[in-house]
Amino acid sequence: MIRLATVQFTPRLGERQANLEAIRSLLDPVEADIVVLPELCSSGYFFTSREELAPFAESPGGVACSFFQGLADAKRAIIIAGMPETAQGCFYNSVFVFRPGVADPLVYRKSHLFYKERFVFEPGDTGFPVIRDEQLDISIGIMLCYDWRFPEVSRVLALGGADLIACPSNLVTDAWRKVMPARAIENKLYVAVANRCGTETRGDETLLFKGCSAVYDPYGETVALADADNDRVLLAEIDPRSCRDKSFNEFNDIFADRRPELYGAICCPRR
């Protein structure tokens, strides 16, 4: 069994050091093999310009990257953290995956930008990575917040061998709570949603982040669930081996029964 920690946390906008210290305090007593943190957990969310975002955007070796790599090494855990990234003059809403003893983090750049993110971030260009860890015998797929709206994302990750989809998030709607269990059951894998809570106000607009971080099992059942308002760490034991047999009776297998030759286009019947 693998010990999974899913972190619900309330970042302060533009206060990186305070955010990192709060994360350190939350994780200090936690023993886990995998830790999933929210989207943009080092910086806060509601930036209104690239100039405002720039001081908090990271490349490998930056302040927050060094912090999380140190945490991964000290805890001997995989740390999955959402942060703003800078690369070749562009800014991305990204997830960094830090592994103990591995100097270079894997980076996923958010493919589907939500709401006003398009004014500060570029659409991601990494595709959808699946990270294999032989020591834990688990494959982890990464998606980021609004990516959940697109079933193709979780299916691509599942077809890539993911046993667990980690989804750092800053969710402001409630619809995802209906859909995330479906993403788990339709692909027969675990889904960990690390959402933030709290509010951020810019001008006359306030975003309310909905919390309710959760872990769902391969049958769509809730393994762990947070409330809407408080910082906390959800701990769950998961067995990735339960995700690898995609059959659900002696005749049907959700992958073997696929008909991809029919999925290439949407066909409208002629009248």
pLDDT at position 271 is 45
pLDDT at position 264 is 79
Which residues have a catalytic role annotated? 39, 110, 145
pLDDT at position 263 is 87
DSSP annotation of 33 reads S
Domain boundaries, the chain: 2-262
Q: Which residues make Cβ contacts (< 8 Å) with residue 87, sequence separation at least 6?
A: 59
Determine the residue type at 80: I
What average pLDDT does the segment 193-206 reach? 97
Q: Report the alpha-carbon angle 240-171-44, nearest 5.
A: 105
Fold adopted by 2-262: Nitrilase/N-carbamoyl-D-aminoacid amidohydrolase (3.60.110)
Residue 195: which of 223, 222, 226 has the closest Cα? 226
Q: Which residues make Cβ contacts (< 8 Å) with residue 33, sequence separation at least 6?
A: 2, 3, 4, 77, 78, 136
The confidence band for 84, taking pLDDT boundaries of 50, 70 and 90, is very high
Read off the pTM: 0.95
DSSP annotation of 9 reads B
Residues β-bridged to residue 103: none
> Does the pLDDT at position 270 exceed 60?
no
> Does the pLDDT at position 157 exceed 80?
yes
